[in-house]
Structure 1
Amino acid sequence: MPAKTSDRILLTDLAFYGYHGVMLEENKLGQRFRIDLECGIDLVAAGKSDAVEDTVSYADIYDLVKGATEDTRYKLIEALGQHIVDRMFESFAPIEWIKVRIRKPEAPIPAVSGEFAIEIYRERP
């Protein structure tokens, strides 16, 4: 099996409003989520051809992540992260691996500053 590519498409600090969380307030009022996404994809052909057909469109990735975040509710952001990964692999065959970080900057936990987050790394099965 060939080594996984180190080329990547990155979408960072995407902001969405969702209703994910264990607490009743999170499900009722919702909150902002920040998502960073890295997609491992061989970009040699796209770099040589300058053709969008040889890569995965950033706009298509954004639309998928937006839909995954806003259309379904989860108690855990771990489940949301896995849902995003699953949809990405189903939709974009060239992607070899995905790293997704989901941050909750307004989690209902008393903290002076900071945010709560998860990060998931998955390779295509």
Structure 2
Amino acid sequence: MKLHHRSCVRLVNAVFYARHGVHEEERHLGGRYEVDAELVFDSREAAATDDISKTIDYSKAYAIIGEVMTSGEPVALIETLAARAAARLIEELDLAEKVTVKVRKRALPLGGLCDYAEAEHVIEKR
């Protein structure tokens, strides 16, 4: 029997202050964005050796997400932020086999009550 091992490291509710949004006032004032990232990989070697170099460095993942969220030109869509963060993570974290990024925005100009809007982007190596 052939076994396939998959593990994941998650960053849950990483918070960034950034100046994105469709409306000019959102870009001017900025707002709070929350990000979840799930990084799937084979952790057998890390688990067997207890060697941090054999696993996903979640501090590096956090830094990558932070750069996407707070650097560069503002964007209109949280979908754009989720896609950019996922692309950078899968490119820069060699061990990652699959990346899922969710970006949430809580302060929504909807004219009504809503906890948050969320966009999710998934990239998987084949």
- Give yes or no for TM over 0.5: yes
- Counterpart residue number, 1:19: 19
Report how far residue 5 of structure 1 moved. 5.3
Judge which range, 70-79 or 4-13, deviates more.
4-13
Contact in 1 for aligned 2:102/2:118 (Cα 8 Å): yes
Classify 1:8/1:18 alpha carbon distance in 2 versus 1 (closer, same or farther; 3 Å): same
Report how far residue 93 of structure 1 moved. 1.1
SS of the residue corresponding to residue 112 of structure 2 reads coil
Letter in 1 for 2:9: I
Q: In the aligned structure 2, how far is the partner of 1:88 from the partner of 1:118?
A: 16
Contact in 1 for aligned 2:5/2:44 (Cα 8 Å): no
- CA-based RMSD of the aligned residues comes to 1.8
- Counterpart residue number, 2:28: 28
Unaligned runs of 5+ in 1: none
1:101 matched to 2:102? The reply is: yes
Q: In the aligned structure 2, how far is the partner of 1:49 from the partner of 1:4?
A: 19
1:75-86 → structure 2 map (5 Å cutoff): 75-86=76-87
Classify 1:97/1:113 alpha carbon distance in 2 versus 1 (closer, same or farther; 3 Å): same
Contact in 1 for aligned 2:90/2:123 (Cα 8 Å): no
Contact in 2 for aligned 1:35/1:102 (Cα 8 Å): yes
1:116 matched to 2:117? The reply is: yes
SS of the residue corresponding to residue 112 of structure 1 reads coil
Q: TM-score, normalised by structure 1?
A: 0.91
Classify 1:4/1:101 alpha carbon distance in 2 versus 1 (closer, same or farther; 3 Å): farther
Unaligned runs of 5+ in 2: none
Q: How many residues align?
A: 124
Q: Which stretches of structure 1, 4 residues or longer, exceed 6 Å deviation after superposition?
A: none
Letter in 2 for 1:119: E
- Counterpart residue number, 1:56: 56
Letter in 2 for 1:9: V
Q: TM-score, normalised by structure 2?
A: 0.90
Contact in 2 for aligned 1:4/1:96 (Cα 8 Å): no
Percent identity, aligned pairs only, is 26
- Counterpart residue number, 2:75: 74
Contact in 2 for aligned 1:81/1:100 (Cα 8 Å): yes
